[in-house]
A and B are shown apart, each in its own frame.
Chain A
Amino acid sequence: MSINPLKIWRNEKSRQIIIQIIVLIIFGWFISWLAGNVSGNFERLGKDLSFEFLFIPAGYDINQYLISYNNRDSHLRAAIVGLLNTGLVAICGIVIATIFGLFLGVLRLSKNWLANRIAYWYVEFTRNVPILLHILLWHGIIINTLPHPKQAIDIFDVSYLTNRGFYIPKPIAESGIGLFYLFTVIAIIFAVLFSRYSKKRQELTGKQFPVFWINLMVIILFPCIALAFNNFPISLSIPELKGFNFRGGLHLSPELIALTFALAIYTAAFIAEIVRAGILAIHKGQREAAESIGLKPDRVMNLVILPQARRVIIPPLTSQYLNLTKNSSLAIAIGYMDLVATLGGISLNQTGREMETMVLVLLIYLCISLSISSLMNWYNYRVKLVDR
């Protein structure tokens, strides 16, 4: 019995297998070609693939570190310092961008024509200019237009704005602070439990507590009581001008401020549009129905509009957070020592190991992105509308 090749081709199953085999062959050939090139190039240059460089002393300084670091520490530690710096900028940026973006989004929805227009033009101007320009512009403004420490702009004699960065008071914990931390944790746990309880109670009996105000009181009062109990074991280190520069206090470098601020205001413009679109996406009838059963405006917002808008808003919001984190890699343009500037910048140049350092940098970013997006998928799955 002879096999008719045309018949095999016309059968969908076998055709799919044939096509996949062809793709596999081409793809495999391509990968082996790349691998062959890499090994050939490594041989030609007398290099090998090894990650031992991570454990030799880095030999360069980093001007901002969250864990102790000096130039005798290893490249690995330098990379971790860089990663933490990336995290610092990303978290600060995300917090500021969210608050500012929500504010702008609300303004964009406001019926006040003037405020609406101002917010609109702010959003258009900000998001149509590259983020790199924002970063450089703010960095330039801090460095070139703010005064020297001697003529620093003085805010209530405790904070100073200079061209070398901002100096703000720094709280210093003294002995007996443990109680404060303990009470803060207790207050937060109480707030969570209380809001759960009151929600359950409302579902059973229809009675409500002023949850927000009670929780706010508890979260502010509890730690204060703890502080008063131990005679306020906190002191402030206030920056003072000594010689040509400030001593004491907390120093925020121009790079950190410019980067955080630029990332925050750029992302806020996108967040504003996301919030606006999310709230506008809720059908008009929902609001009308809520109003017609006599809900007050804030209840309409909290109970009807926001829970539905949240479903529309959260996914693009998360991807904006991811974008902000990825954009923080532009830090290298102004010399802020983040992951790309340490591992992918100076470490790369000093060790000459382009392949290893770049692969590590790519993998780290990939891990961050993939973990956040899988978290988002899980959330999407949870809040998905249940169709009947």
Chain B
Amino acid sequence: MTTLRTSELTGNDNYFEDFRPGAVFRHARGKTVEAIDNVQITNLVMNTAEGHFNEDAMRKQGGIFDRRVCFGGVSIALVVGLAAQDTAENALAELGMDKIRLKEPVFHGDTLYACSQVLAVEDGEREDAGVVTFHHWGLNQDDKVVFEGERRVLIKRRSHWADN
């Protein structure tokens, strides 16, 4: 059996030591939101609000939107996901989120991008990792902020994990 070298599987530029308060990052990839993202995840998690999956009802009802709108939980997960390789790849645990605001609707065909700012870095309860607080923004193709929120993550220290 070969020995698993965990540090070979993740990046070397996103350990706890790499995050400085105030730093702002633009994450490299965007993602166009398709029905396969919104409808599939909405149904997978049994969110029963048909505004996310019944196009006919949305066209006929004359409600706030005239077509299916992306479930906010999916928008949050997509924006955090776009930021994840940089801010979660070496995470030991997600600790929580706060001040999540959905500011613009996301529709099928919209493209999301993510930016993040490091708000704080703190020692963790364990010595091999520290807590980083990020502010994340989700932007659409028109550069409008569709989501923002804070996220706390327990991230490995290079000093303890880089040679594992």
Partners in one complex: no
Chain B residues in the interface with A (C-beta under 8 A): none
A residues in contact (CB < 8 Å) with B: none
